[in-house]
Amino acid sequence: MKDILSGNEAIARGAWEAGVRFAAAYPGTPSTEILENIRGYEDIESQWSPNEKVATEVALGASIAGARSLAVMKHVGVNVAADPLFTASYTGVNGGFVMITADDPAMHSSQNEQDNRNYARFAKVPLLEPSDSQEAKDMLKLAFELSEEFDTPVLFRTTTRISHSKTMVELGERAALEPLTVLEKDVPKYTMLPGFARAKHPKVEQRILDLAQRAETLDVNRIEMGDPAVGIVASGVVYQYAREAFPGASFLKLGMTYPLPQGMVEKFRSKVDRLYVVEELDPFLEERIRLMGVKVDGGKSVFPITGELDPGLVARLLTAAGAPGADGDLLTEPGPGAEGLPMRPPTLCPGCSHRGVFTVLSRLKVFVSGDIGCYTLGAMPPFGAMHSCVCMGASIGMAHGISKVTDAQGQIKNQTVAVIGDSTFFHSGITGLMDTIWNRGASTTIILDNRTTAMTGGQETPGTGKTLSGEPAAEVDIPRLVEALGVKRIAYMDPYDLTETEEVIRRELEAPEPSVIIARAPCVLQFKIMNDPWTVDSELCNGCKRCLRVGCVALSLIEGEGEEDTLVEIDPVQCNGCGVCAQMCRFGAILPPVPVEA
Amino acid sequence: MTENGTTTNILISGVGGQGVLLASYVLGQAAMKEGYEVKQSEVHGMSQRGGSVVSHLRFGERLASPIVTQGTADFLLSFEPLEALRFFNWLRPGALLIYNTLRVNPSTVAAGLATYPDGIHERIAQAWPNSRGIDATLLAEEAGTAKATNIVMLGSIARELPFPLETWRHIIGRVVPPKTVDTNMKAFELGRAAGR
């Protein structure tokens, strides 16, 4: 049976077919749908973890207990999970253990563009890279086989264009598994005291040499001979781009990109006139190939080190470098587009509970130490009310550092406030707050508790009282947790009430001790909260545009009756009736919905 | 179509929440049912939050890339006029642009920081003479709900694609909520009539 699956759906299917028993993840674009789809396979125990480090540790535990297990994350998640990964490389596995890293070249939804292929070399583990959904499914099985045969974690890398592209997949089945009933103990293997770890390191080095030998005969690495004038080395989606751009060329198609099959590379070099390495981001393959002493005629000298490639770019850049045989259809430079069009960036939804908070923060001109979530959009116009955002959980520690070295002299604009969402707070904000309290900080933290992981599509958190599969679970009590960390001042505010929000934030900023403000209001998108639309009284509206400062797409300026007369209109389809814009109006021109009489 | 005439490249553009991805899914399933190889690519994650959304759909006998190369699209289906003007130069010379005429303000316009282009329909016609604007949202409302705008848009391109009517109906019937099948079938027919 065939179906059209995204790379993420295919990975989930591949996990099921490969006999995976356990999978854990923290959501992050473009990886999120992998666990959401694995959830549908009842014979895999799957869970969200509070962060990627924990996801990796629980998956490693399941592996040591004998289960094939999977840890899934976006590229920056591997930074968080690097600690267990690097030493899991020493312990090795029992049941196969695979870590999936979904990289995001071009940063469609990320804060950096790191190339996680480098982690394979750094952690000394093998790396597989599928080039479409069929390969994603098939290569995941290979990843588990290699993991068990070579006693190693395996890094499995997709990019956004693999995770979120849909191609056709032939579906297979899952073999029945015996229950795991015996827990075997092996102190030198799994207990990385220095003495045991010293014995492991040479084995890790030998393992990479052995894997390089195996790479010579794996069928995911193959030479596809065409015209010998042009030889292209590629992997992942870039292989597909290059195939499209140079349909007649010769290819060294790599499915395992670390360690590389040196014999195969040398053989390919000997068969082609010119050798090009086509890859996105870092010269990962190119550097390894050059280190073999193999001549490369073009790599990063031809292709950019930033952003994504596409078939047209591969065709044009390699042609300019002197490679013959590009598909003529792809060589035409596209005509000019329309200029000066307004951008359409993502924006806070109408009715979003973050809108009021950022309207007030923008007004207060305080330095906002931000974090990662929908609320990062508070940095965008018209708010411009987020002044730093680095990584998950950074807001609180950074605010503490800022306030430690600044004398605000009582001025709010010289003060800092940390803003963090509930899921991000659980991920890695708690330790930052612990640091603030322990080290006698005085900064204020706002926790935007919208009861979900909103930006990635509404996943459960440790605070929602439900697991990934929807089962009831214990619910983290944020106020009691914060209190246990030593916070004496805990305040609450209704983020839809601008007056209250401003009063509470001002009061807590002025307090000479650390405080936490909790704004608890559920995500309107995730919980499908719909309120009746508000309306504008055109007699009362004088077009002052003050309401537009709330940055809501339901509002727009229209022509009034008189000349040069503009006024605001509310789109009844988009308006979600939160009333925040009405609180900005000084003329009472924005009116609540009239209740329908019974 | 490409030089060898075996691949069709379609780009669908719109605004998050308009149903671009579902429309693309229907096209892909229809192409697969007709025996073509299908590849599709889109970027989501922030798509529900009112940003620009683009889906690439390719079908043919043999394909490699899941994304359409700029300047080689055979069709551009845009769910909003500004998103038609933003992407028309993805079309190959002479290719067809069909767009929904209903304007949706970007957040930059709503905040008063940018202005929506004046005379957008004239600008589209000037930039891409082989374009048709249809009031898809009005037709969807006529069928029963504005939410069926994406199905009207699919109807508007149906005559241009090599899929029989029963294939379209089969796939649409399968992907829309059961209670809305009749409404969506009507929306598809209204789109088909408007797409002439």
Predicted-complex ipTM score: 0.94
Is A222-328 in CATH node 3.40.50.1370? Answer: no
CB proximity A528 to B under 8 Å:
no
- Confidence band of B47 (pLDDT split at 50, 70, 90): low
Architecture of B7-107+118-194 per CATH?
3-Layer(aba) Sandwich (3.40)
Chain A residue at shortest CA distance from B85 = A338
Residues within 8 A of B (CB atoms), A 393-452 only: none
Model confidence at B2: pLDDT above 80: no
Q: Given this model, what pLDDT does residue B3 score?
A: 41
Arithmetic mean of pLDDT, B142-167: 96
Per residue in A434-472, pLDDT (tens digit) is 999 999 999 999 999 999 999 999 999 999 999 999 999
Q: Given this model, what pLDDT does residue A561 score?
A: 75
Beta bridge partners of A472: A466
Q: Which option is the CATH number for A2-215: 3.40.50.970, 3.40.960.10, 3.40.50.150, 3.40.50.2300?
A: 3.40.50.970
CB proximity A317 to B under 8 Å:
no
- CB-CB under 8 Å, B82 with A342: yes
- Confidence band of B107 (pLDDT split at 50, 70, 90): confident
- CB-CB under 8 Å, B66 with A132: yes
b/e sequence A499-514, b meaning 16+ C-beta within 10 Å? eebbebbeebbeeeeb
CA distances from residue A543 to A342, A538, A539, A569 in whole angstroms, order as listed: 21, 9, 11, 10
Task: State the smallest CA–CA distance between residue A335 and chain B in angstroms.
Answer: 6
Per residue in A470-487, pLDDT (tens digit) is 999 999 999 999 999 999
Pairing verdict, β A555-559 and A515-520: unpaired
- Confidence band of B1 (pLDDT split at 50, 70, 90): very low
- CB-CB under 8 Å, A554 with B67: no
Which chain B residues are Cβ-neighbours of A380 within 8 angstroms?
Answer: 107
Alpha carbons A81 and B96: distance in angstroms, whole number: 48
Domain with CATH 3.40.50.970 in chain A: 2-215, 354-520
CB proximity A459 to B under 8 Å:
no
Substitution target in B2, B33, B69, B122 with the highest count of A β-carbons within 10 Å is B69
CB proximity A232 to B under 8 Å:
no
Task: State the smallest CA–CA distance between residue B131 and chain A in angstroms.
Answer: 15
Alpha carbons A24 and A459: distance in angstroms, whole number: 13
Q: What is the mean pLDDT of chain B?
A: 93
CB proximity A327 to B under 8 Å:
yes
CB proximity B72 to A under 8 Å:
yes
Model confidence at B48: pLDDT above 70: no
Domain with CATH 3.40.50.920 in chain A: 222-328
Per residue in B77-93, pLDDT (tens digit) is 999 999 999 999 999 99
Q: Given this model, what pLDDT does residue B108 score?
A: 87
Q: What is the CATH number of domain A354-520?
A: 3.40.50.970
Q: Is A326 helix (H, G, I), strand (E, B) or coil?
A: coil
CB pairs below 8 Å between A and B: how many? 184
Q: Which residues of chain A have pLDDT under 50?
A: none
Task: State the smallest CA–CA distance between residue B2 and chain A in angstroms.
Answer: 7
CB proximity B108 to A under 8 Å:
yes
Domain ranges of chain B: 7-107+118-194
Q: Tell me A589's DSSP state.
A: -
CB proximity B121 to A under 8 Å:
no
CATH class of A535-591: alpha beta
Q: Given this model, what pLDDT does residue B68 score?
A: 96
Chain B residue at shortest CA distance from A568 = B110
- 8 A C-beta contact, residue A552 and residue A580: yes
Of the candidates A106, A10, A72, the residue with the CA atom closest to the CA atom of residue A459: A72
Closest CB to A109 among B45, B87, B117? B45
- 8 A C-beta contact, residue A325 and residue B64: no
| CB-side neighbour CA atoms (13 Å) of A29 | 26
Pairing verdict, β A444-449 and A515-520: parallel
Residue for token digits 């579902």? B22
Calculate ∠ Cα B61-B62-B65, nearest 5°. Answer: 135
CB proximity B48 to A under 8 Å:
yes
Q: Tell me A343's DSSP state.
A: P
- 8 A C-beta contact, residue A468 and residue A35: yes
Q: Given this model, what pLDDT does residue A597 score?
A: 63
Calculate ∠ Cα B119-B122-B126, nearest 5°. Answer: 135
Q: Given this model, what pLDDT does residue B4 score?
A: 46
CB proximity B1 to A under 8 Å:
no
